[in-house]
Amino acid sequence: MYTNNVRTVLFMAVLILTAAPESPADHNPVFTWRIRGDANYEQWIYDGNDPIAQFDMSTMNEPMQALMFFSAVPRPLLLRHLKLTPGGIPLVQAVQLYWKCGKFITDVLDGLTVEGNGTERLTVAFTVRDEWDAMKVTRTLTVSYDSSLDSYVYDFRDHGIINNPETSDTNSTVGIEYCDPWFTDCPAPSQPFPGMWKGRYSRYVYESRDNRIVAIPHNHFSQSQKSGISLRKEGIFAAVYEPDGNPAIQMLDDTSDRSYISICPWGYDVHMGCSLKPEELYKPVTLHFRIIQCPYDRARLLERNAVIPPIKQTEYKGLKEVPMYEPAGSFEKAVSIEKPHEGDIDPWFWVPQDEQGAVWDRSYGHTGSSSLKIEKNTPGIATWYSMCEGQGYFTEPWTPCKGYEISCWVRTKDAEGPGASIGACYHVPNIPPEWPITRSERISGTKDWTKLTVRMGPPPKDVSIMSLNLQQVGKGTTWFDDLEVKMLR
């Protein structure tokens, strides 16, 4: 007979055993490819009853997403919302399933086969081509689970054929972008707004070909440290650090030897490309990489040991920090060019352009103790410039816009010629400007603080970004302070 105390101990032990969460070693995956029907049916990979990745062929309608992530690809083929651990949250927002090589983009789905339904190893082969049949690629995805990593493994093997290599054979290397993944909630919002998401990660870290551990800060500056990245064989490239997961990329076989990575300073997506010699165009192109969860201890160790390389002295005219862009502000806050962003927002910034003379005055302003200053002895143009306003810059979701009203307080001293003004222009990144700058009145001579205002009409179709400039034409000195940008609804 058991005593009451013994019965209690045994009962509690049973409760603990039955309620304990599943350990990695206990997880037995059962992968299936499922189609969920509604007005626009969806195709998913499941582990048991848990959807872990979606195959997406949706048309991109939001103008800045369509342009900046998927330029010339209005209906991209994507694997989206990838979970990396059983029961975890999606850590990878999307993985492209097409190649880009100059004007050729393999965004036409030519075939899809699934093997291994209901097993611990699911294989999906996506065959894609460009509209002219110049390139054809079969990307074979194998999904499995590695208990030693406590991670799903998304293993990608590409087999590409260039059907007419003579059109690309230019006696020099040919570049192919074979993937451009990006991670969930990254970047953080650039401005605070109600309901804003919480950004993830502060940097990328990677194991380089020369055996260094290198960090790339998450900020929106275009820098030399964000291009020409090469990994050692099977080296990790990971986003760090978050306690609930850190996605990583590994290049396998000889893929790292022929590949390079660059980081987009706009969306922090990871451009993965390879270079082919002319003679390599005439035989199949094979690539092999995988996406996994970087184990917590390894992610933490990589983050702690990684070193951020210095940027070149010629970049950003030797500046280490520049003024933060705020829709309403007085140029008091700084953004570091070399360091990761800090806090809940990942801001954009102001940079000097055109002639020399634009400096950040930290000792004088209309309110506070700072302003943007232009001081020069030449008759040309000097500018403080920012391209940062609108939904395409990680602000609140796009809504119909009737235009903008931009105002700024301006003071001049001995300003000759046309003088000082503020201007704004609707803008499409990566495309030459099509719309003229709308400019305020100009002031010259010596004038105390004066409020200048410029009003913009509705943006053109498929545009949701606006650039700003604070400008002086001619000799003299100008201070700009207390900028305010209002969207008209």
Quick one: pLDDT at residue 304?
95
Give the pLDDT band of residue 18 (cuts 50, 70, 90): very low
420-478 per-position pLDDT tens digit: 999 999 887 766 667 889 999 999 999 999 999 999 998 887 777 889 999 999 999 99
The class level of CATH for 315-488 reads: mainly beta
Residue 142 scores a pLDDT above 60: yes
229-282 per-position pLDDT tens digit: 999 999 999 999 999 999 999 999 999 999 999 999 989 999 999 999 888 999
- Distance between CA 436 and CA 301 in Å, rounded? 50
* Lookup: tokens for 102: 């100059």
* Domain extents in the chain: 24-305, 315-488
Residue 314 scores a pLDDT above 50: yes
Bridge pairing between strands 285-293 and 247-251? antiparallel
The mean per-residue pLDDT over the stretch 14-39 comes to 70
Give the pLDDT band of residue 170 (cuts 50, 70, 90): low
The mean per-residue pLDDT over the stretch 159-175 comes to 80
Can you name the CATH fold of 24-305?
A: Beta-galactosidase; Chain A, domain 5 (2.70.98)
The mean per-residue pLDDT over the stretch 303-323 comes to 90
Residue 7 scores a pLDDT above 80: no
350-408 per-position pLDDT tens digit: 999 999 999 999 999 999 899 999 999 999 999 999 987 877 788 887 777 888 999 99
- Distance between CA 36 and CA 8 in Å, rounded? 47
Three-state SS sequence of the chain: CCCHHHHHHHHHHHHHHHHCCCCHHHCCCCEEEEEECCCCCEEEEEECCEEEEEEECCCCCCHHHHHHCCCCCCCCCEEEEEECCCCCCEEEEEEECCCEECCEECCEEEEEEEECCCECCEEEEEEEECCCCCEEEEEEEEEEEECCCCEEEEEEEEEEEECCHHHCCCCCCEEEEEECCEECCCCCCCCCCCCCCCCCCCEEEEEECCCCEEEEECCCCCCHHHCCECECCCCEEEEECCCCCCEEEEECCCHHHHEEEEECCCCCCEEEEEEECHHHHHCCEEEEEEEEECCHHHHHHHHHHCECCCCCCCHHHHCCEEEECCCEECCCCEEECCCCCCCCCCCCECEEEECCCEEEECCCCCCCCCEEEEEECCCCEEEEEEEEECHHHCCCCCCCCCEEEEEEEEEEEEEEEEEEEEEEEECCCCCCCCCCCEECCCEEEEEEEEEEEEEECCCCCCCCCEEEEEEEECCEEEEEEEEEEEEEC
The mean per-residue pLDDT over the stretch 300-309 comes to 94
Quick one: pLDDT at residue 348?
94
Quick one: pLDDT at residue 463?
79
178-209 per-position pLDDT tens digit: 999 999 999 999 999 999 999 999 999 999 99
199-203-205 Cα angle (round to 5):
140
Share of the chain above pLDDT 90, in %: 73
- Distance between CA 194 and CA 184 in Å, rounded? 19
328-348 per-position pLDDT tens digit: 999 999 999 999 998 999 999
Average pLDDT of the residues of the chain: 89
The mean per-residue pLDDT over the stretch 166-171 comes to 64
Quick one: pLDDT at residue 436?
86
The mean per-residue pLDDT over the stretch 21-49 comes to 86
